[in-house]
Structure 1
């Protein structure tokens, strides 16, 4: 690239920056504009840097371009107050951020809205935040329009998770969170895009996963007892074997085979299992009925959900995750 050519790149880059709308909802639009402009100046290898202000709908932009003699030139063109965001926020680059997952940088306020519910069992808060951040990485370039059903389903899911059962409670929550209507629309749109990505990924992965894990998707009706001491399996048929047990938990129901306690998963119909050591105690059970797996919608949906969990775990292992404990 010649010097005059680079001067033209700088001039066009400044004009491009000055034309961007500084709202969170306009970031995708800005990225597309830079991508189109980059195609006309491949030697400059332009990169758009977006700074999202914590608790604000306003964003700032920088444009990085490669100098023809080496190095990088950063363009900043604030059109309103005249203060480049780099100077305006002259603290550590991660100030206000909680975690970075690959290309996604999550602010503390954003992390709080990611939590659909308080984690239970062995699932921690940070696991939920990382999972949602991984999905955000996957939809960064998603500009496909959302249909009304996608948005409505995402809004309903969010309101249910927060116990917002009517318009009044939703408006009260928005006021409490200091969230504008525009911010809420963008927030729900993000949920809708993540839900759509997950739904499509599950449908994509389901057939192969089911083919590889057929036995895990048998429908099994079983009865089992977990106890602090061994239970006689033959007496289990009338439950009389439990009378001398200090403490026991009885379960009877229908499950996917893969969701049963491990000793029962692949047991044949009407077969008795145990007593065997299990989960710090003993398990005794019997399979009452077993139906071979089929590729019907219900089974494919279950296989897709399991496949997605496996895919997400693998995606997390490949991710760059950095927590900013500032």
Structure 2
């Protein structure tokens, strides 16, 4: 892939942009120093970097920190010969041709995981449940106030690929048995399926309302009562359709000594979270967990299937 020469005007614009970028990362700069909107779009990386969220923003900050530099970076899409975003092979070819260094998010994750992790055990106990005896392990997470826990049934490390469920908290569904969603049913079904096998893990992640929090979830319910679907309601409140991420859950599974799992989910985003080789944790099977449909959750489930890509049966 070749780099095309730029016209003089483009070079001048890039030089001006570089001056603006240097001003943006200057600790002495104040918001009033800049005119908005502009041609650059500041974005914030999550604390914890690629171990918290495997994204380009976090990768840029991690690279700067690892190099001992100020934690800031510039993201730029590179286009291929077709005019579309360059794929990995094109980028590797470009780097080789121009003798540039290149790395991947997977490699960053692998590098950081060898030296650090975000989760740590705070407490654990034996917990008898209706589904069978379990070990409850309560975790803390660096850079976060919310605390997930793991329910471990049997000895999952003795199984080649135990059943695992990463379950995002849903107070209304899990505790109050709301019929508006399938969360409570999925929680109970997952526990039953794990215990039928005699061993497995359920990770309970504090990600209420697909990560928007309980108060905003209730507001989203109100908007749904007025005709919006679950995706439209979240977006109307200023959020993405799904704000969750699963890096913490994957780290907990690694802390428990697992390397291969069968994942109880209908959500491809959850399965895709495991593709980053740096976590060294493989999903060998995606096991469906389909809850009953009722008149209150039928539209919700249809939206998950049609707009979020969940693997659910049609009406």
Q: TM-score, normalised by structure 2?
A: 0.26
Q: TM-score, normalised by structure 1?
A: 0.25
Structure with bigger gyration radius = 1
